[in-house]
Amino acid sequence: MWPGYSSRSTDTRTQRLAWWWRGGEAVGYGRLVWLGSVGTPALGWSVLGSGSTDTSLLLAVAVAHALAAALSFLLPWRRWPSWSLLAFPVFSMASVALTTTAVPGVAGVYGGFFALCFAYTGLYLPARGSYVLLLPAVVSYLGTLTSLSAAAFVRVVFLAVAWLVLGELLGLLRRRHDEVLRELRVENETDALTGLSNRRGMERFLGQAAGGDVLVVFDLDHFKQLNDTRGHGEGDRALQTFGRVLQRELRTRDRAARSGGEEMAVLLRCSVEDRCGVELTRRLRGELGRAYPGLTFSAGIAVVDADLAVESAVEAADRAMYQAKAGGRDQVWLADAEAPDGSRPVADFRTTQQGTDLLAV
């Protein structure tokens, strides 16, 4: 039905470094910020070390970094709000302040590193994240100074304003970039006629399918005959009507696409498995009968198996749909490995508009 579909990435370079990016891109770059701050103790020890260096404090900072890095690979970052990413710049700046305490000779030289922390905040934290980071940043930077003269105070104020502007500008650019990408994605992945996703959008949401999700494949009955006898304009109206009615019947977490011609595909995120697919087709058949009298569909349903690729569910639902058409159209079949032909009828709409429920048969 959909040749060439694949939900697997072939970027081997990404796969080789997948362990570092565990938790997402923002977490991966947060670890890089930590890596930068853990380099400061090594720099202080090897280049600027002196008799006054507090080696025990430097060792404590290094151990704390090692423990934090190990913990970052275990924490469920994706389940937490974006504000949890503040841990990376705050911890890093505190580390720099402690390093300065341990190695007084490096006092006041880490302003650029604080700018890096604000750049990270602007790129990955929610709006106004730089304002939240400003207080711990100023406190940490003051901790890197051996004394606070008038000149040092002016420098702190100037740096604080520069950090804040940098973070907010990058945040604004990131939000505008994300907005443009969303608009382009919607335009690029939407079928102009039905308002549903197109093939490209369908590949995206099928790639996110999980075990227990339900896939429903629809095909409008006698569509070629409708085009031939009443014109392509009427065929377009039938497709538009079906797309509009289908969108009304879906929940926000469900996805639908026009896979080609008069075929549509729906991915349902539901806990009652095949039953929710049958209920959708029944509601849709009733609404479609009122919106476009005489227009019917045949449908095939398959449950996504957690142990199999989603392509298997696509093929099973497609076969069930063709069996529904071969069985007389205007009905729904369910893919069932125990059935003699691999699927069985579960609803027949030819007798009444609401149909006869055969799911328990």
**Radius of gyration from C-alpha coordinates of the chain:** 30
Structure tokens at 133: 């980071």
Say if CB 137 and CB 93 are below 8 A apart. yes
Give the tens place of pLDDT for each residue, 70-121. 899 999 998 899 999 999 999 999 988 888 787 776 665 677 889 999 999 9
Which pTM was predicted? 0.60
Give the tens place of pLDDT for each residue, 318-342. 999 999 999 999 999 999 988 888 8
Contacting residues for 218 by C-beta, under 8 A, at least 6 apart: 242, 246, 263, 264, 265, 266, 297, 298, 299, 321
Q: What percent of the chain has pLDDT over 90?
A: 55
Average model confidence (pLDDT) for the chain? 85
List, as one string, the DSSP characters of 128-184. Answer: THHHHHHHHHHHHHHHT-S---HHHHHHHHHHHHHHHHHHHHHHHHHHHHHHHHHHH
Q: Which residue has the tokens 């093929």?
A: 315
For residue 215, give the 3-state DSSP assignment.
strand
Domains of the chain, start order: 12-187 (no CATH), 199-357 (3.30.70.270)
